[in-house]
Amino acid sequence: MKANTDIFTLFNKYLNGPISKSELQVLLDYFGKEEADETLMAEIRSVLESDYEAKQDDIAQIGKEVKMRLDERLRPNETGKQIWIYLAAAAAILLAISIAAIYVFELGKIPQNDTIQTARQDIHPGTDKAVLVLSDGRRVSLTDSSNSIITNSSGENIAQVIDGTLSYISSNRNINTGESAYNTILVPRGGQYKVILPDGSKAWLNSGSSLRYPVSFGTQSRIMELTGEGYFDVVKNKKLPFTVKSSTLEVTALGTQFNVNTYSNEPYGAATLVEGSLRVSDTKSQKTVLITPGEQAFSAAGNLKVRKVNIYELTAWKDGLFVISKAGLDEVMRQVERWYNVTVEVKLPKSANTFSGEFPRNIALADFLQSLERATGIKFKIEGRRIVGR
């Protein structure tokens, strides 16, 4: 307990001052963090405002977990002529949770402080939310339908929501019903959602996306329509090709994992293959290519091209991560707009500089913008659901 008390004492000095350079280094070394900043201070205070409880036995374990997760998050960056975004937000939150556990255990209460009580203006990240539009026009909020059954117009059970995932009931899979009824999942900006399709294939939909698909697949094909971005893990069936159509691309697979990005405000539509094989066609030129794992087919001005890509970077969104690799500032801000459901009103500089970094998608917007400010020199400000800057 003595070690925990010493760490708490250093934390208290760090939060309220003064703290010597050597004392601060001891505190940071304990949690495996290299430096302190304003983001760290803000996150600590934010956590202290919450009703966080921890038992004495939990404190040491939390400290170990912090160190382990920091090692995973703050891995060495690749070299290159880039401006690196220092993403300290993940470290700040983990450190704050550990410190809060010690703080609450030692004092038994959160101090009432005017500075802590004054909340900064911020926007929270996206969450699991979507609307299901049934073939009869009914709309079901999947956000509010935890552990519920969904029926069709005849009162038959067709799907269920369990722990934030929409799953179709197995008895309805691969039934040839003639003219199939279609359902549509609408995921708003600031949302994401996972669905297990009638054939058992899995689809993850990113923010601002939709997927229209048959309630039961027939005997010829599995065809659906996508807007936005989706990741698909397809159940193999040689007799039923799995096809995803969009405004720019048509992607067909027998059994594979792939990502399709067709956002209208992106410069091109792209299909990225994770495993298996994939046939990709451009809807305008009708040009078709076959790609192998690690390749991406993209359509630019009606011309279909293939290139090698970093799969981890392009699919990490479904696992709760933003991974930015040599991206322009305009590309970064488009992702911010979709995930945080905001409008960016910033005159972005015309620069060849690129950005790289990695951070969890559950980070508050202010934390990300602070990191971006250090990299760009642009001063961002949150006004309602707008981001302005100069």
pLDDT digits (tens, 9 = 90+) for 322-331: 888 888 888 9
Helix 38-49 × helix 2-16 angle, to 10° = 110
Q: Do the Cβ atoms of 295 and 276 come closer than 8 Å? A: no
The residue extents of the domains of the chain are 2-117, 127-313, 321-389
CA-based nearest residue to 271, from 211, 231, 242:
231
What pLDDT was estimated at residue 340? Answer: 95
pTM of the model: 0.69
Question: Distance between CA atoms of 377 and 199, rounded to whole angstroms?
Answer: 50
Amino acid (1-letter code) at residue 32: G
pLDDT over 90 (residue 240): no
What are the φ/ψ torsions at residue 139 (nearest 5 degrees)?
-115, 130
pLDDT band at 378 (very low <50, low <70, confident <90, very high): confident
Tell me how far CA of residue 188 lies from CA of 3, 123, 214, 249, 336, in angstroms.
47, 16, 21, 22, 14
CA-based nearest residue to 7, from 39, 34, 42, 31:
31
Per CATH, 127-313 and 321-389 having the same topology is answered no
CA-based nearest residue to 190, from 369, 365, 373:
365
SS3 string of 50-116? CCCCCCHHHHHHHHHHHHHHHHHHCCCCCCCCCEECCCCHHHHHHHHHHHHHHHHHHHCCCCCCHHH
Q: Do the Cβ atoms of 327 and 358 come closer than 8 Å? A: no
Bridge partners for 278 per DSSP: 291
Question: Distance between CA atoms of 29 and 33, rounded to whole angstroms?
Answer: 6
Long-range Cβ contact pairs of 6-11 (< 8 A, separation 24 or more): 7/102, 8/99, 8/102, 8/103, 8/106, 11/99, 11/102, 11/103
% residues pLDDT > 90 (the chain): 35
> What is the token pair recorded at 111?
């101090």
pLDDT digits (tens, 9 = 90+) for 293-321: 999 999 877 789 999 999 999 999 999 99
Between 128 and 147, where is the model more confident? Answer: 128
CA-based nearest residue to 348, from 385, 383, 376:
376
pLDDT over 50 (residue 349): yes
pLDDT digits (tens, 9 = 90+) for 136-157: 899 988 986 667 888 877 777 8
- The listed CATH number (3.55.50.30, 3.30.450.20, 3.40.640.10, 3.90.1150.10) that belongs to domain 321-389: 3.55.50.30
What pLDDT was estimated at residue 318? Answer: 93
Chain-wide mean pLDDT for the chain?
A: 75
Average pLDDT over residues 197-211: 95
pLDDT over 90 (residue 244): yes
Question: Distance between CA atoms of 10 and 44, rounded to whole angstroms?
Answer: 14
- The listed CATH number (2.60.120.1440, 3.40.50.620, 3.10.330.20, 2.30.130.40) that belongs to domain 127-313: 2.60.120.1440
